[in-house]
Amino acid sequence: MEAKKLFNPSGNDSIQERQIINGNTTNIFNLNNVKYPWANKLYRIMMENFWIPEKVDLSSDMNDYKNLTDDEKRAFDGILSFLIFLDSLQTNNIPHISDYITSPEINLILAIQTYQEAIHSQSYQYIIESILPKETRNYIYDYWRDDKVLFERNKYIASVFQKFLDSPSKDNFKKALIANYLLEGLYFYNGFNFFYNLASRHKMHGTSDIIKYINRDELLHVVIFKKIIPEVIEANDISWIHEMFHTAVNQEITWTNHIIGNNILGISKDATEKYTKYLANSLLEKIHLKHLYPGFVNNPYQHLEKIADTEGKGDVKANFFEATVTSYNQSSAIDGWDF
């Protein structure tokens, strides 16, 4: 594959000629005529979901953090480090994916995704600065270097992206798409549930509110790749996809059991396995592939949906705005969309 030209006077942006990859685009954002209307709809939603982390009050979280158990503090710090890595990686990675996308309406939403990933990185900095003692702040950013389980976890997903950058073949591009789908749809959620678990026990409510906004964005990012992947990857080309899913699931379970295990009230190793395999099956189903883990079809953390408030219709789960953060303009109009 070759990256699209920045300046391409001979390009053809007609609907008939437009393609997600390998098209001949001029790079002009002609959004009056679009081939993929789902991208326009998603763009509007993403723009409506503008939010600022500093608007969330974290003053009570500083006290809550001091009173967390040692196991809760360790999980909080480790999961925060992992989330920082993921969103930092995506802020840098998404533009490289977009370089090979030749549909302007999809390039537009990938640009918004990049911006949202940067906001997430800023959010973690705000949490660290507001809650953690000065002497431990750098430790969070370096945690992934020192923890061998987390390092291997980060290394796997980053290596897939790096391989595509070093050798931009179509096969490596397809693997990068699946890696993005796994990152956005699988990697975050045991960590998110940890914060919702704390909130359910009246701890770290401000942090949980920020995680809700990040969670909402990530669900939209899942939709982006859910729509791109079936257009690019053949339906019978699945063995390597299952292999990537299996690796990601095993790493997610190993990491979550390492950083949480059975040490946090309301979370268990058994539930972690069930939840992670349930997520994997759900993601595969969304791209029209068979379940990898037969029988894992129920969410063992359904009770946390009331805290996360992510149960809606379709792929974009909504109404994150009934929590404490209502003092600034954020859309509450997403009741669920059929993308």
Question: Among 229, 223, 61, which residue's Cα sits nearest to residue 130?
Answer: 61
Query: Rounded to whole angstroms, how far apart are CA atoms 141 and 81?
Result: 6
Closest listed residue to residue 77, CA positions, set 191, 203, 175: 191
d(CA 33, CA 113): 22
The pair of three-digit structure tokens given for residue 64, joined into one six-digit string:
């809550």
Is residue 208 within 8 Å of residue 123, measured between CB atoms? Answer: no
Among residues 104, 226, 100, 109, the alpha carbon closest in space to that of 172 is found at 100
Q: Residue 29 has which token pair?
A: 């954002």
The three-class DSSP label of residue 72 is helix
Q: Are 58 and 269 in contact (CB under 8 A)?
A: no
Return the structure tokens found at 296: 């894992």
3-state secondary structure of 263: coil
| Closest CA relative to residue 5, chosen from 33, 30, 24, 18 | 24
Active site residue 124: yes
Half-sphere exposure of 316 (CA within 13 A, CB side): 23
- The label of the residue with tokens 């995506």 reads 90
CA 141, 146, 150, 155 dihedral sign is positive
The catalytic position among 36, 124, 126, 278 is: 124
Residues noted as catalytic: 124
